[in-house]
A and B are shown apart, each in its own frame.
Chain A
Amino acid sequence: MLVSTKWLSEYVNIEGIAVSDLAEKITRSGIEVDSIIDRSHGMTNVVVGYVLECVKHPEADKLNICQVDVGEETTQIICGASNVAKGQKVIVARPGAVLPGGMKIKKAKLRGEESNGMICSLQELAIEGKLVPKVYAEGIYVLPESAVPGESALPLLGLDDQVLEFDLTPNRSDALSMIGVAYEVGAILSQGIQLPEINYTASNEKAEDMLKLRIDAKEDNPMYVAKVVKNVKVEASPLWLQNRLMAAGVRPHNNVVDITNFVLMEYGQPLHAFDYDRLGTGEIAVRLAEQGEKITTLDDTERTLEAHQLVITNGKEPVAIAGVMGGLNTEVHDGTTTVIIESAYFAPGSVRRTSRELGLRSDASTRFEKGVDPNRVEAAAERAAQLMAEIAGGEVLAGSVIFDELDKTPVRITVSPDYINNRLGMKIPLEEMLTILDGLQIPTEAVNGKLIIDAPTRRQDLRIQEDIIEEIARMYGYDLIPMTLPITESTPGGLSPYQAKRRTVRAFLEGAGLFQALTYSLTSKEQAQSYALETAPVTELLMPMSEDRSILRQSLIPHLLEAATYNVARRMDSVALYETGSVFLGEEEDGLPQEVEHVAAVITGKWVDHAWQAETKSVDFYVLKGIIEGMLDSLGLSEGLSFEQTVLDGMHPGRTANIFHNGERIGLIGQIHPTEQKKRNLKNTYVMEMNLAKILAVETEELLYTQVPRFPSSSRDIALVVSSDTSAGMLEGVIRNAGGKLLKDVRLFDLYEGDNVEDGKKSLAFSLTYSDSERTLTDEEVVKAHDKVLNALTVEAGALLRG
């Protein structure tokens, strides 16, 4: 909403208040003023000129040499506009003027001819092209004949004005009109307001004799007022009216249309004007459209209607889509002489639905959607009739043709001052409350210590006690509310065990060298299930904005890979990222997908990069595996963990494993398949994804300290040769099994294939530690335990012991 302060001052006295102060007051008490637009843009030396003479420039086809009376002198100005002509009153920027675009006007020579200034278009005075009347859209603007040469052009054009741009919240539809704003400003400044006085002389002829009205959709159209104005002369509006509209962001068309728009802005009541003769039937009938019925609207577009959409008809065919847009067939034109003014109440839901379905939003529909003031429907029609008489020379027929079943009773709200003060934490006296409500012109009575309020119909946002609390608080001033803290039972507060453990996971992964990533949940059909730990029916958007963001993901890996590619493409060759986030699986009984929190990671490039000491190491499977093991260990889950080689789509078949905890699959790890890596412009890249929810749900034992060993341990090394496909994990299992309770630790310290080892075989070396917490083990005890291990390795694992 654009509020011209010049226009506003017709209804409320704002003299003597700086516009910036006014804006601040309005913002602090209820409506955010987004910006203040100074329409003068600080322009000076912009005056009225009178074109005394206008001839073609001898050297340039498109230029005109004009002799212009600018008051104190007659001066020569070269003008390139095609519509400049002798006898016009025009806008002249004189030498020294600075135009809004920053253009400085100087004396100049154009193709040898002197030019002392510039004849301006409205666009050059910073009026948006879409607001400039169509006739002047491509050239200079022509002022009325009454303009006096030499006088400043700014007041004439209403540019000595500052406009407040409101950022209205949806509840404050009352401020979608100048009068509504006046009520608000009046309350803020403790001023009364001046409503327009409506008086005109009506003809003897009655409107109802010329026009019949029938409403067949009373729910969607509970009130309809039509007035008939004869003998109008359609022409350009007077400048003051055009100025008002342009200041409000509306393009002037002709006097009849401009009047309807002016009243819309003034009262917040949308009006429509029909050409009576074009209507053809002397009848207005409002009904629901027939399915598939067609109408061509004012924007010259044919629209097909649906059965629930409300239309105005001439008794035969639609002439307007109610509250949304008029029809081309009954549009007011230059030859129109008789006009029907429509002022109605269309049900908000109906207009909202129709305007959305047709993709048509207008100043009218936005107001109907929010519900116009029932008590202004008739007044607005009268106001328009008055202006048609004054401005368009029309003859207003007596009375209106009215259908009215609209409930106009105000909502009654009863609230006690104590309730208000308790909710605010304040002690505002009753008298103060009454003063505030009186200032807002909200009829209130204090009865038995309670406030009885009849909410004005213009304020549709006032319905319940809390709405009154807000009115009082905002006008009293939020700054005056004290600062306290809630008086409640004190609660410990904190993270749930799940949340606390999730923080542990993040801290561990970051400590291990991974950066936290945050990627999108929505992905493409193609990627939704790639690399997924688990798949289920996908969750798809009804109306995606793009194919790339159309389905909820079931794996975090694809977007982490995208992030890796993004970084590598920017020469960040080493990337280590992790993410915690939900995947969306299938559908639960309540219709929602199952959301499962996962943790995933991607690493590529160098893991150790300390070049000057020749210590560089690329990422590999075991880097990521070590991180997973450490992460699970930090959650107390190192026992019962196993990695089992597997084959998964998109992964390197020899370097991929499922991760199990106590036999339950909790994740996957591996290298991206080389073909896939290449597609994504990545080199060796490893990923993992785990079901975080499952991991964090495992209840771990209490952390109890075990005594630090007091007795020395003995260690024994074993070197053995096994077939190449024997896994280290299996061997370790055999060792641990056979070692018994004295075996405290098993560590692989060598792995070798090649020279001196038979083909198809490999050599491994383990270091075993034996100890007892109660005493020092004797050599015999260690030998006995170790022999069991050696025996098991030979018998169970077919290992050949070396050396």
Chain B
Amino acid sequence: MEAQLELLKVEALAKIEAASDVKSLNDVRIAYLGKKGPITDLLKGMGKLPAEERPKMGALVNVIRESVTEVLEDRMAKLEELAINEQLEKESIDVTLPGRPARTGNHHPLTRVVEEIEDFFISMGYEVAEGPEVEKDYYNFEALNLPKGHPARDMQDSFYISEDILLRTHTSPVQARTMEAKGGAPIKIICPGKVYRRDSDDATHSHQFTQIEGLVIGEDIRMSDLKGTLSLFAKKMFGDEREIRLRPSFFPFTEPSVEMDISCFKCGGDGCNVCKKTGWIEILGAGMVHPNVLKMAGYDPAIVSGFAFGMGPERIAMLKYGVEDIRHFYTNDVRFVSQFHRTEA
């Protein structure tokens, strides 16, 4: 019986050794250690032994079973590891293959610029005001100190619908409408929108383009407030190092009127082709609201004053992103628009 047991052990160990995968090792386990296996058979056969031998033989069978089990489990662990390694190797992929594209679009560059400007002024307590693109001559010109026959009307040849109605030539009528609606109350608004002028489309002209204007009205609004506001804006939009300068200019709806330059963001003011070697780039027009404009909207210019400014998102986008032709903004070439998808800074 002992000899028989030893033989079984040797045989089992040999089979364990020979098993090359998890499945065949499992077969070995079932064959030797299973309920129908020889070791179980031996245990079942113990009844036939004399009573005094049973404990000794029982112990011996258990020792052999345990040692076979131990070897088998060892082997099983090794084979499982082999198997998983083999599987992992099979699952290996080429990480350089292209990813499944995440489909996404983005803002038109002009919307991007407009929203950036809007958000800055919103943070300063401004509201966003909008108005009609087809306007009355009154709001587009007269309420802005441009009576019929005013020479400055030459500056902006317009698309008329009738004698008194036209496509707005600037977003300023929104200012006039807001002032009229506010009935003398303070105002802080920013007005973005489309505008139209009789220009032939070329690299620097577009019969349709966009503007964004700002207006602040209140008691004792000073020109220094305009300068301080614009300086913060320039830094926010074009970088903290930007300096501004104001130059005298003329707009019928402001007096004094200025144009604002910023120090060149390409060369820092040393002179390059972006700033045409001057170190400065013209960004916007501004001024103190003309008393006639205030009066027409029902404000008393002796008590109330205000400032206004306006700029062209096209120009800002062209400068910021180096776009050389204004028509790119209106052809909707996906290869152009899709370039404005990422964050800056």
State the A residues within 8 Å of B (CB). Answer: 27-32, 169-172, 348-349, 352-353, 369-370, 422-426, 464-467, 469-470, 473-474, 478-479, 481-496, 499, 503, 506, 509-522, 539-545, 549, 552, 563, 566-567, 570, 572, 575-578, 581-582, 584, 590-593, 595, 607-610, 612-613, 615
Complex: how many Å from CA A650 to CA B218?
Answer: 54
Residues of B within 8 A of A369 (CB): 151
Q: Is the CB of A584 within 8 A of B134?
A: yes
Measured between C-beta atoms, what is the minimum distance from A521 to chain B in Å?
6
Q: In whole Å, how far is B161's beta carbon from the nearest beta carbon of chain A?
A: 6
For the complex, what is the distance from the CA of A31 to the CA of B342, rounded to whole Å? Answer: 41
A592 and B132 form a contact (CB under 8 A): yes
- Chain B residues 129 to 161 lying within 8 A of chain A, measured CB to CB, are 130, 132-136, 149, 151-152, 154-155, 159-161
Asked whether, in the complex, the Cβ of B250 is within 8 Å of the Cβ of A169, the reply is yes
Considering only residues 142-186 of chain B, those with a C-beta below 8 Å from chain A are: 149, 151-152, 154-155, 159-162, 164-165, 167, 186
Inside 8 A of B334's CB, which chain A residues have their CB? 515, 567, 572, 575, 577
Q: Are A466 and B288 in contact (CB under 8 A)?
A: yes
With a cutoff of 8 Å between Cβ atoms, the chain B residues found around residue A549 in the complex are: 207
| B315 interface residue per 8 A CB criterion | no
Among A540, A545, A609, max chain B CB count under 10 A is at: A545
- Contact at B132–A595, with CB atoms within 8 Å? yes
What's the Cα separation between A488 and B217 when bound, in Å?
A: 9
Chain B residues positioned under 8 Å from A563 (CB to CB):
331-332
Residues on B with C-beta less than 8 A from A542 are 159-162
Q: Name which residue of chain B comes closest to A27, CB basis.
A: B247
Sorted nearest first, the 9 A-B pairs with minimum C-beta distance are: A425-B224, A425-B222, A169-B250, A470-B256, A513-B103, A483-B228, A563-B332, A478-B246, A493-B125
Instruction: List 20 additional contacts besides A479-B246, A540-B161, A584-B133; criterion CB under 8 Å.
Output: A422-B222, A424-B222, A470-B248, A481-B246, A484-B222, A485-B229, A493-B121, A493-B125, A493-B126, A496-B127, A496-B128, A506-B111, A511-B104, A515-B108, A516-B337, A519-B332, A591-B136, A592-B165, A593-B134, A610-B100
Least CB distance from B252 to A in Å reads 8
Within 8 A of A (CB), among B61-103: 97-98, 100-101, 103
Chain B residue nearest in CB terms to A29: B248
- By beta carbon, the residue of chain B nearest A489 is B186
A520-B335 contact, Cβ under 8 Å, with A466-B288, A545-B198: no
Contacting residues, chain A, for B216 (C-beta < 8 A): 486, 488
* Dominant secondary structure of chain A at its interface with chain B: mixed
Instruction: Looking at the assembled complex, report how far the CB atom of B327 sits from the nearest CB atom of chain A, in whole angstroms.
Output: 11
- Residues of A near B220 (CB, < 8 A) are 422, 487
Which of A481, A483, A517 is the one whose CB lies under 8 Å from B108? A517
Asked if B19 is an interface residue, CB under 8 A from chain A, the answer is no
Contact of B332 with A566 in the complex, beta carbons under 8 Å: yes
Task: Compute how far the CA of A492 lies from the CA of B128 in the bound complex, rounded to whole angstroms.
Answer: 12
B248 to chain A, nearest CB (A): 4
Residues of B within 8 A of A610 (CB): 100-101
Cα(A575)–Cα(B334), bound, Å:
8
Q: How far is the CA of A433 from the CA of B237 in the complex (A)?
A: 36
**B107 is an interface residue with CB less than 8 A from chain A:** yes
Instruction: List chain B residues, Cβ under 8 A from A481.
Output: 223-224, 227, 246
B284 within 8 A of A: no
Q: Mind listing 11 A-B residue pairs with CB under 8 Å?
A: A369-B151, A464-B291, A470-B256, A478-B258, A482-B227, A511-B104, A514-B105, A539-B161, A541-B159, A590-B136, A591-B165
B204 interface contact, C-beta 8 A: no
In the assembly, what is the distance between CA of A195 and CA of B344, in Å?
58
Whether a CB of chain A sits under 8 angstroms from the CB of B211 is no
Given known A349-B149, A506-B107, A522-B207, contact A423–B126 (CB-CB < 8 A): no
B227 in contact with A466 (CB, 8 Å) = no
B13 within 8 A of A: no
Contacting residues, chain A, for B97 (C-beta < 8 A): 612
Q: Once the chains are docked, how many angstroms separate the CA of A465 from the CA of B302?
A: 11
Chain A residues within an 8 Å CB radius of B331 = 563, 566
The answer to whether A488 and B222 touch (CB under 8 A), given A506-B107, A539-B134, is: no
Q: Cβ of B283 < 8 Å from any Cβ of A?
A: no
Write the nearest CB–CB distance from B129 to chain A, whole angstroms.
9
Cβ 8 A contact of B225, one of A486, A513, A593:
A486
Instruction: Please tell me if B263 contacts chain A, counting CB pairs below 8 Å.
Output: no
Asked if B40 CB lies within 8 Å of chain A CBs, one says: no
Interface set of B (CB-CB < 8 Å, partner A): 97-98, 100-101, 103-108, 110-111, 115, 118, 121-128, 130, 132-136, 149, 151-152, 154-155, 159-162, 164-165, 167, 186, 188, 194, 196, 198, 200, 207-208, 216, 218, 220-225, 227-229, 231-232, 245-250, 255-259, 288, 290-291, 305, 329-335, 337-338
CA of A452 to CA of B46, assembled, Å: 135
Q: Which of A349, A464, A478, A495 has the most chain B CB within a 10 Å cutoff? A: A478
User: Nearest chain A CB to B185's CB is how many angstroms away?
Assistant: 10
Q: Which residues of A contact B337 (CB under 8 A)?
A: 515-517
Which residues of the partner chain A approach B249 to less than 8 Å between Cβ atoms?
Answer: 32, 169
Q: List the A residue with the shortest CB-CB distance to B97.
A: A612
Which chain A residue shows the least CB distance to B118? A495
Bound complex: CA A478 to CA B231 (Å): 13
Q: Nearest CB to that of B152 among chain A residues?
A: A170
Contact at B133–A582, with CB atoms within 8 Å?
A: yes
Q: Do the beta carbons of B196 and A522 come within 8 Å of each other?
A: yes
User: Which chain B positions have C-beta within 8 A of A492?
Assistant: 125
A277 to chain B, nearest CB (A): 38
Pick from B108, B165, B207, B255: contact of A467, CB under 8 Å: B255
A710 to B161, CA, bound (A): 64
How far, in whole Å, are A469 and B301 apart by their CA atoms in the complex? Answer: 14
Q: Are A425 and B196 in contact (CB under 8 A)?
A: no
Give Cα A567 to B227, complex, Å. 44
**In the complex, which residues of chain B have a beta carbon less than 8 angstroms from the beta carbon of A353?**
149
Query: Contacts of B288 on A, CB cut-off 8 Å?
Result: 423, 466, 469
Given known pairs A30-B248, A545-B198, the reply for A517 and B223 (CB within 8 Å) is no
Task: With A496-B128, A563-B331, A590-B136 as known contacts, state yes or no: A518 contacts B108, CB within 8 Å.
Answer: yes
Q: Are A591 and B247 in contact (CB under 8 A)?
A: no
Whether A466 contacts B228 in the complex (CB less than 8 A), given A493-B124, A519-B332, comes out as no
Residue of B nearest to A173 (CB): B151
Question: Which listed residue (A467, A485, A515) contacts B105, Cβ 8 A?
Answer: A515
**CB–CB B155/A466 < 8 A:** no
Distance, CA A484 to CA B256, complexed state (A)? 17
Shortest beta-carbon distance from A121 to chain B in Å: 31
CB distance B250 to A170 under 8 Å? yes
Which of B167, B224, B329 is close to A518, meaning CB atoms less than 8 Å apart? Answer: B329
Q: How far is the CA of A28 from the CA of B331 in the complex (A)?
A: 38
CA separation between A590 and B338, bound complex, in Å?
Answer: 41
Q: For B105, B136, B186, which residue has the most chain A Cβ atoms within 10 angstroms?
A: B105
Distance in angstroms between the alpha carbons of A496 and B125 in the assembled complex: 13
Known: A470-B248, A582-B133. A572 touches B228 (CB 8 A): no
- Return chain A residues, CB-CB under 8 Å to B208: 520-522
**CB neighbours of A28 from chain B (8 A):** 245, 247-248
| Bound: A191/B279 CA distance, A | 29
Closest chain B residue to A541, Cβ basis: B159
Residues of A within 8 Å of B245, CB to CB, are: 28, 478-479
In the complex, which residue of chain A has the Cβ closest to the Cβ of B163?
A542
A518 to B328, CA, bound (A): 10
Across-interface contacts of A520 in B (CB, < 8 A) = 207-208, 330
Question: Are A577 and B136 interface neighbours, CB within 8 A?
Answer: no
Closest to B112 in A: A516
Known A511-B104, A518-B332; judge A491-B248 contact (CB<8 A).
no
Asked if residues A521 and B330 are in contact (CB atoms below 8 Å), the reply is no
Q: Which residues of chain A are near B255, meaning CB under 8 Å?
A: 464, 466-467, 469-470
Evaluate contact between A545 and B207: CB separation under 8 angstroms: yes
Q: Which residues of B contact A584 (CB under 8 A)?
A: 133-134
CB distance from A734 to the nearest CB of B (A): 35
Q: Distance (Å) between the CB of A61 and the closest chain B CB?
A: 45
User: In the complex, what residues of A have CB within 8 A of residue B198's CB?
Assistant: 545
